[in-house]
């Protein structure tokens, strides 16, 4: 059998390694100067001086902090898509609020705006759209609905760096907060980590306090002050969500490479789109005009013309030494969400159909053309 080709693999270079070593030698390994530097450089990358950037130890933490800062609580409802990782919804339950799941658009696999509108109740407080796979949602339509009903919008942009919607980078739109992920398989990584972006200065200040136990003074300021600065106050029962300087050290150089990473993902996606177009597969939607797909995922769906099941294809690729994944088993089919809200598969027919036919093919920046050709040839052989 040929060497195993993973579904995803981070691309870590010498610059990241050297920066981590520098952090270890400096003695400052938790939140400190490099975390601040990473936050500032992330703001510069987005190109909007009015943004506040808050580095955290996961996108899950960032979503939780955003909901808390925007005063989501018991009795409130937050609407999100069923086709997402559970973190998108679980943070709503952290706040004691309820989740309202909605179906997807069958082409983009993003939130169906008509389903969103139909799900709004007097209890609805916020919308949590997910930019699935790296393709931005129809954000203007979502923002219009939010303004009509006076709702908050928190973007789950875990897949969407650097996605572009109508000429604007995700993270710079007219929403209340955007949360990015730097998990190991994302378009850039810090190992574990995330970033919250907002123009709401009060919310940003609250998130900075809540990410470190509700302490009203930054740890870095307390420990590098020239005068004794040991005194601090706990102003809220906060969380332990701060990013470390070790993680930020990786992020600084991953961010510097992000445009190159994006270009390579675009190249790989174009090769897939060209090579697989004649197979019985529904290929992922491209970004509309004035947009950019981040291509975190390359999700194909088996059409009715195929005599193969999704699991047969996954097994065939596995036997050829090729890793795949499925994104995702929809939340309405997961035991916790299904039982809590008494959900049925036919409540979400589009997400249900997509799930039963989808698989994610390998896509990562260190993937060589010959690696991708293995995937293409294995699929072509199977369907021939």
pLDDT digits (tens, 9 = 90+) for 65-105: 999 999 999 999 999 999 999 999 999 999 999 999 999 99
35-to-23, 141, 229, 246, 291 alpha-carbon distances in Å? 11, 35, 20, 8, 30
Answer yes or no: is 286 within a domain: yes
Q: Are residues 129 and 151 in the same domain?
A: yes
Q: Are residues 202 and 284 in the same domain?
A: no
Answer yes or no: is 288 within a domain: yes
Helices 245-256 and 14-26: angle between axes, nearest 10 degrees: 150
* Domain that includes residue 376, residue range: 259-383
Q: Are residues 67 and 198 in the same domain?
A: yes
Q: Are residues 41 and 185 in the same domain?
A: yes
Q: Are residues 130 and 167 in the same domain?
A: yes
Answer yes or no: is 299 within a domain: yes
Answer yes or no: is 3 within a domain: no
Closest CA to 293 of 273, 322, 277: 273
The total domain count for the chain is: 2
Question: What is the pLDDT at residue 194?
Answer: 98
Q: How far apart are CA 300 and CA 319, in angstroms?
A: 19
Q: Which residues are catalytic?
A: 186
Question: What's the whole-model pTM score?
Answer: 0.96
Q: Are residues 184 and 125 in the same domain?
A: yes
Q: How far apart are CA 78 and CA 101, in angstroms?
A: 9
Burial class (CB in 10 A: 0-12, 13-18, 19+), 222: middle
| Alpha-carbon dihedral 335, 338, 339, 344, rounded to 10 degrees | -130
Answer yes or no: is 6 within a domain: no
Final residue belonging to a domain, choices 205, 232, 256:
256
Q: How far apart are CA 301 and CA 159, in angstroms?
A: 19
Final residue belonging to a domain, choices 256, 285, 305:
256
Answer yes or no: is 73 within a domain: yes
Final residue belonging to a domain, choices 256, 279, 302:
256
With vertex at residue 11, the alpha carbon angle to CA 321 and CA 39, rounded to the nearest 5 degrees, is 140
Q: How far apart are CA 120 and CA 114, in angstroms?
A: 10
Answer yes or no: is 7 within a domain: no
Helices 59-69 and 201-210: angle between axes, nearest 10 degrees: 120
Q: Are residues 130 and 162 in the same domain?
A: yes
Instruction: Give the pLDDT means over successive 10-residue stretches in the chain (384 positions).
Output: 90 98 95 96 98 98 98 98 98 98 98 98 98 98 98 98 98 98 98 98 98 82 61 93 98 98 98 98 96 98 95 97 98 98 97 98 98 98 93
Answer yes or no: is 229 within a domain: yes
Q: Are residues 268 and 251 in the same domain?
A: no
Q: Are residues 274 and 240 in the same domain?
A: no
Question: What is the pLDDT at residue 228?
Answer: 59
Q: Are residues 202 and 304 in the same domain?
A: no
**CATH code at position 219:** 3.40.640.10
The model's pLDDT over 40-59, given as tens digits with 9 standing for 90+, comes to: 999 999 999 999 999 999 99
Q: Are residues 145 and 133 in the same domain?
A: yes
**CATH code at position 314:** 3.90.1150.10
Structure tokens at 32: 């400190």
Q: Are residues 176 and 308 in the same domain?
A: no
Evaluate whether 283 touches 277 at the Cβ level (below 8 Å).
yes
């Amino acid at each position: 059998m040929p060497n195993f080709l993973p579904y995803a693999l981070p691309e870590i270079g010498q610059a990241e390694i050297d920066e981590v070593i520098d952090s270890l030698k400096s003695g400052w390994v938790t939140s400190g100067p490099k975390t601040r530097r990473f936050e500032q450089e992330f703001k510069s990358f987005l190109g909007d001086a009015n943004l506040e950037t808050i580095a955290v130890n996961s996108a899950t933490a960032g979503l939780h902090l955003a909901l808390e800062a925007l005063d989501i609580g018991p009795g409130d409802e937050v609407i999100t898509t069923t086709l997402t990782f559970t973190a998108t919804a679980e943070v709503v339950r952290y706040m004691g609020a309820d989740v309202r799941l909605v179906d997807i658009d069958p082409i983009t696999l993003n939130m169906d705006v008509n389903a969103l509108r139909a799900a709004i109740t007097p209890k609805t407080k916020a919308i949590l759209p997910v930019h699935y796979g790296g393709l931005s949602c129809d954000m203007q339509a979502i923002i219009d609905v939010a303004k009509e009903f006076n709702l908050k919008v928190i973007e789950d942009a875990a897949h969407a760096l650097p996605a572009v919607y109508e000429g604007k980078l995700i993270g710079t739109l007219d929403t209340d907060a955007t949360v990015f992920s730097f998990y190991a398989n994302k378009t850039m990584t810090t190992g574990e980590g995330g970033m919250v972006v907002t123009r709401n200065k009060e919310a940003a200040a609250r998130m900075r306090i809540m990410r470190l136990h509700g302490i009203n003074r930054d740890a870095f300021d307390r420990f590098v002050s020239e005068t004794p600065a040991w005194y601090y106050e706990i102003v809220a029962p906060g969380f332990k969500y701060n990013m470390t300087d070790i993680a930020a050290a990786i992020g600084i150089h991953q961010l510097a490479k992000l445009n190159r990473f994006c270009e390579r993902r675009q190249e790989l996606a174009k090769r897939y789109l060209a090579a697989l177009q004649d197979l019985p597969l529904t290929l992922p939607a491209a970004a509309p005009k004035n947009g950019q797909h981040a291509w975190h995922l390359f999700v194909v769906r088996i059409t009715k013309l195929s005599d193969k099941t999704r699991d047969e294809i996954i097994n065939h690729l596995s036997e050829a030494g090729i890793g795949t994944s499925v994104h995702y088993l929809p939340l309405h089919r997961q035991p916790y969400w299904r039982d809590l809200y008494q959900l049925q598969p036919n409540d979400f027919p589009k997400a249900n159909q997509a799930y039963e036919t989808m698989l994610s093919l390998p896509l990562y920046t260190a993937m060589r053309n010959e690696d991708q050709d293995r995937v293409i040839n294995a699929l072509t052989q199977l369907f021939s």
